[in-house]
Amino acid sequence: MRVLVIGANGAIGKQVVQKLKDTEHEPVAMVRDSDQVAYFEDFGAKTVVADLEQNFEKAFDEIDAVIFAAGSGGHTGADKTIIIDQEGAIESTDLAKKFGVQRFMIVSSMGAGNPKEAKQIKHYQYAKHRADEHLKQSGLNYTILRPGGLTNETGTGKVNLQEHISERGTIPREDVAATLVHLLNNSRAENQVFDLLEGETPIENVLD
């Protein structure tokens, strides 16, 4: 499949693009700055320069699947959370439908299923929740992945992937990227929502 990675220049996005290059799929890295293109071209990945805050329709041309890993980040205000994590994801879902995309995966956040219970960054969990609900109702073949706290540790290749995990925890970004790539073609991940933490199950065996 030709896979549009939105947020490709991010910590998870970069690893998703790299890992997709090692599969039968063809990643297209969506970046918002032309200075970010060379990084991907160096290992032969295609790019499209487009910004979620502008018209980004062109990015969906001849795309079969989308992995949305963009986010406004913790350093911006609540306005950017709404504009990127919520509205950017919702518009991406709508464009995927418009362009006949088959599959849509999104990096959400643990806790986004129940934003009323959030003790911190409540607006962020509401934004993620709204985007997830829109995707669920879109009719697209979706997977919503809700990782716990992200770290920059090297991935262990082992995770805890379940519909709901009660305890809090962390997971290396590399393992989130590997899980996304592994679940892209897994029929058991279709139209499902998962929490994700570091764990004991090899990523290649999740949902077996």
Closest CA to 11 of 195, 155, 202: 155
Q: Which of residues 74-113 bind ligand NAP (CB under 6 A)?
A: 84-85, 107, 109
How do strand 26-31 and strand 2-6 relate by DSSP bridges?
Answer: parallel
Q: Which is nearer to ligand NAP, 37 or 150 (CB)?
A: 150
Minimum distance of ligand NAP from residue 191's CB (angstroms)? 20
| DSSP 8-state code for residue 84 | I
Residue count, binding to ligand NAP (CB under 6 A): 24
Q: Does 149 bind ligand NAP (CB under 6 A)?
A: yes
Burial call 30-57: b when 16+ CB within 10 Å, e when fewer: bbbeeebbebbeeeebebbbbebeeebe
Q: Which window, 96-104, 132-140, 146-154, 185-193, contacts ligand NAP (CB under 6 A)?
A: 146-154
- Annotated catalytic residue 126: no
- State how far the Cα of 38 lies from the Cα of 49, in Å rounded to an integer: 12
Choose, by CB under 6 A, the member of 3, 4, 5, 12 that binds ligand NAP.
Answer: 12
Minimum distance of ligand NAP from residue 109's CB (angstroms)? 4
21 burial level (CB within 10 Å; 0-12, 13-18, 19+) = middle
Q: Which of residues 176-205 bind ligand NAP (CB under 6 A)?
A: none
CB 132 within 8 A of CB 180: no
| Displacement of CA 88 from its chain's centroid (Å) | 12
Minimum distance of ligand NAP from residue 29's CB (angstroms)? 10
Q: Which is nearer to ligand NAP, 65 or 147 (CB)?
A: 147
Show which residues are catalytic: 124
Residues in touch with ligand NAP (CB under 6 A): 7, 9-13, 32-33, 51-53, 69-73, 84-85, 107, 109, 147, 149-150, 173
